[in-house]
Structure 1
């Protein structure tokens, strides 16, 4: 019995010493939302439109200098159009915020949570994340590059998966030149 107690005590001491000197190396680096940009580009049969959308909050997780995770919240009410002016700009921004598209009144934010990060080369990573738009979540794969305190990521998003139906040939027939393609692009330039 004494030798069992002695073994348990030694084991506990070794465990305490090991955990005491094992540093948690994961560091959360907050995104500087005022210095970061997200540009969107949507495509239709007759051309395209583009604009910006703001990051409400976000962070990247690092183990020493290696990316291990991330989390972002997007302010959907911040959607702007940069390739139009005047009434056309205002109308398209209002339409994108309406229930025809992103339903901003009921869904003021979208989010992206990294679920898996794998190195794909020096400063480059392949990421799988859970993207939530309009309260609907689906996995998404994309790449991200890190250089010092900056990161660049490009995402291709299929809006039909998030109940964004307007002008989509996935939901409506006979749209012809009024069709809007389901996939749109997001390009993010981040500072942290």
Structure 2
């Protein structure tokens, strides 16, 4: 009888209730701390990191290109980024996509007169085809007026992206800088993309005479704002 009265004593029941309450409170506390993404500021205060989307400032953004047949002979130019957005979670890339206006291709070679620049740009876009330069020799802009770029990931200064041009995809990872500065975000980099696997006629190499290098160099400066 002494044993049974000890088991069911009021004091022990209170202790059990207190233990259950403490366990429940601990579970709720852990659950509340594990939801959402938080960072700790310099004062030790937890702050939740929110995703922020930035829109392209097309007027402030530039994309230049350089293509060549040999190290001694090549052409320079520009093409416009018409629209785009970038979503960041703090300093981490969440997503991004951009549209390139392929009808905006221009040639900027120093010393070349405007007529030749216009002819070369039309040749690249396929807007002035002739017997030697078919519409689809390069970018075939009458059929494919835009190209799209989708950003996949950014880590250790390497930007992984998928480019959709002339209806085909090419994946590339290039050196770049992606950063946020107040209300602005920027993507900057100098890199080359190879179009060798896309079957573009103008990039197919002639065994005897060679051809235009399918690796095109780009210099990007994209500016985005909230």
Larger % of strand: which? 1
| Cα deviation, residue 128, structure 1 | 1.1
Aligned length: 171
Is the aligned partner of 1:97 residue 2:125? yes
Indicate which of 166, 175, 183 corresponds to 1:143.
Answer: 175
Shift of 1:23: 5.5
Q: CA RMSD in A?
A: 2.5
- In structure 2, relative to structure 1, the CA distance for the partners of 1:69 and 1:143 (3 Å cut) is farther
C-alpha distance in structure 2 between counterparts of 1:130 and 1:167, whole Å:
20
Gap regions ≥5 residues in structure 2 = 1-23, 39-46, 127-135
Shift of 1:167: 5.1
Change (3 A) 1:92 1:165: same
Structure 1 segments, 4+ long, off by >4 Å, are 21-24
- TM-score, normalised on structure 1? 0.78
Is contact 2:93-2:153 (8 Å) kept?
no
Deviation (angstroms), 1:173: 2.4
Long gaps (5+) in structure 1? 1-6
**Counterpart among 91, 96, 116 of residue 88 in structure 1:** 116
Establish whether residue 70 from structure 1 lines up as the match of residue 96 from structure 2.
Answer: yes
Question: How many angstroms does 1:112 deviate by?
Answer: 0.9
Q: Is 126-135 or 150-159 further displaced after alignment?
A: 150-159
Aligned partner of 1:180 among 190, 212, 219: 212
Question: Out of 23, 43, 60, which is 1:35 matched to?
Answer: 60
Do structure 1's residue 166 and structure 2's residue 202 form an aligned pair? yes
Higher relative contact order (CA 8 A, sep 6+): 1
